[in-house]
Chain A
Amino acid sequence: MRIELVKRKEHSEVMVFLSPVIAVLLTALTAGIIFALSGLNPFEALYKFFIDPLTQTWSLEDTIAAATPLVLIACGLAVCYLSNNWNIGAEGQFVVGALFGSFLPVMLPGFESFLTLPLMLVCGMIGGALWALIPAFLKTRFNTNEILTSLMLVYVASLLLDYLVRGPWRDPDGFNFPESRIFSDAATLPSIPGTSISMATVITIGIALVLTVILTKTLKGFEIRVMGQSPRAGSFAGFSSKRLSLFAFGLSGALAGLAGIMVVSGEMNQLQPTISPGYGFTAIIVAFLGRLNPVGIIVAGFVLALSYIGGEGVQSAMGVSDKIASVIQGLLLFFVLACDTLILYRIRFSSRRAPASAEVSHV
């Protein structure tokens, strides 16, 4: 017997909206079974994991803080993926953005004015964009595979950061430890007064909304979607796929770079050998969970951040291994993709040889 996926003639509109909900419920169910098998009260664990972080102001704020860089990077990646540009190197663009943005507070610590912070953010965007334009240029000029080049540049970027914090940018008062000097107040991204929600969150939501308008209401948005779905049709309309590649990479690099400098300036206040727990890679998941739609990405980023904060919560309260949090994140992604697949395909069991067909894919 064989199992086949057969494309559905039409897919249910209701299920498009229900599928993420079903996926979350299935994740919760499976997670509960895992908790029970490891000898924990599944209800208590699930509560700690998914609900408890939402009940207290500080953990809610933590979740928002963790979601912010993910959402910002994922918004840029969505533009890339919609237009068929496979930028996998947001992690590196994040790091280089942080480096460019940190040039001012590290090299000119005495420059403290109201201009310091805006200049840092702009430098961060430039840095990230330049780093992303390298694979874009290689793709458009030499036809290299951007998945490989953008990914490889991640490692170059993190080694560059490593070199700088151990070498030229090391804190002169830091006992040779690998860290830059601490940023001055003028170089620190503030919070919204009266809360501990960073300005980075406000900026990120603003950018996501602007991107929504661009993608749905403007010619550029149309160009992005057309070139992604049918480059040939796009070229008849006079769109250049090379220019669009440069645009998409530049934009997503700039947003990743902005996320980088905002994390460093707002949360860490200095450069360290590691500045990202893998935001650039997690953002790829966020982009797809959010269906490459900025508003969807905000929701997806929040859900994923919740899984991190909730994972810490069950760890600290119930002594669960941190691997369980990773397993649950993996389950979530698995169920979302599985539910999505079943919207477009149905499963067919057959005992005979199936006729060769382009619409059948074997599992």
Chain B
Amino acid sequence: MSATRTRHGGPVELPFQVLARQSEKMPPCQARCPNSGDIRSWLGIIAQRGRNGLSLDEAYDKAWRRLVEFNPMPATIGRICPHPCEDLCSRAEKDGAVSINAMERFLGDWGLSRALELPQRATERFPESVAVIGTGPASLSFAYQMARRGYPVTMYDKDQQPGGMLRHAIPDYRLPRTILDAEVERILALDISLHSNVEIGHDESLQALRDEHAMIFLGLGAQAPKYLGIPGEKGPGVIAGIGYLRQHKDLDEIELGAQVLVIGGGNTAIDAARSARRDGARVTLVYRRGESEMPAAQQEIDDARQEGVEFRFLSTPARIIRDRDRVRQVEIQGMRLTEPDADGRRRPEPVPGELEQLPADSVIVAVSQMPGWRAADLGLDSESWLQADDEGKLERGLFTGGDDLGPGIASRAIAQGRRAAESAHAELRGLAPAPRPRTLRITHESVRTDYYADRPRSQTPRRPEEEWLTDPAVEIDLTLSYEQASEEAARCMSCGLCFDCQQCYMYCNPGGFTRVAETRPGHYFVMALDLCEGCGKCIELCPCGYLEARDTAG
């Protein structure tokens, strides 16, 4: 509001001289995505295809290409991501968040079924060779982003097969290995060679690698399990969550016995519990806080319960009771949550005297993981996480990303790999580091959700419950149909970016908006400011918050 401006021949304040401006803002999905995925953009390609002259097939192809700019493994991430992007979706409180994760999965499967090739960024080839240690999501992301920029990349993995935790710790019922194989294969098909069964720091020294390559990326992960440190824990019958999942996936013979206790409340604990059900055991999951405090995704908890996993909340194991060597019972200490502390956190504390013995033939401990790399000559302290700058740089020519910086979800690892690659590329080419795009975030108030017609969230198809446990490898969630995906994309409100609702154009009294000849999402109209009469109607009508008032003070 201008306090000094006078008009109308006297000291008259004109408080609302609005001149609208077009301003793209960051939508909540992108703000919440660890990989800053431009979700609105690839959904918009599909939703707005008709007005931009694309068939649905063409729109899916184009959306996939946009999606893989940041994430070369959408079929994989679309299956396993806990999708924080959906948490603050403007649609969430209206009729359910847009099924972003299911859309990502659909497009991922679409790309595989159409054998679409990952888009290159450069045609030129650079001489500097790049080595990537590890083949988990961070490493694959880094390798992809470097290879598509024109660098020859060599990946090293101590295992036979690439994929890291995606391969070894995610059960088949959530991520079929055919999907992972296909997406890894497609990345490796760029100029990337893979050296399997080579452990750097053991089979080959890091120094040798540094002599050979201009750039090194460490994707070491966090592969050492953490144990509870309680009496009776050491010995047969007590197994770490990730170790168990790996054995389960590799179809190793595992003797779990009839009754299994799983300790922990994260996704690894749930994965272990549900896998143990598939191995035929009775399973009780023991967690020290309540259900609502569980870090695992609610859907996973519900599904586990559906499969017969029992839950013991507010309980923590105090000791493991063995008969000779065999686990017989676990003594459980009852817990309660304290009043919220200064940070609002409620901590679990033991309830004196509340002890109980639960029968158990084996115990799966899935409480946390540690760095635990075996690489003495890396000069790294295996007890603590790596410390890198925001771009993952450890020193010149040495970058890192993924769980070796501290545990996180796979899409964060992909983001770290991508950002490290952008930074490594700038270093190798002597470019100024690309500034992080700082886009103004859209506020909930500026999205007029009542403008949008109700469209219920698409139901992700699922296999019938009675089939869930019959084959341990059978996938439970299925992919949206061709038609469903198009419907779901149309639910995106395009927060903060013009999607051609045309209200400004149709209702501007002086006709100040002109349609552009070549339209694309976000680019439909131009404004003629000299025609603007300042009524502000376009801003108030704009449902997505793209139009905003220009500050006319001064």
The answer to whether A binds B is no
B: residues with CB less than 8 A from A are: none
A: residues with CB less than 8 A from B are: none
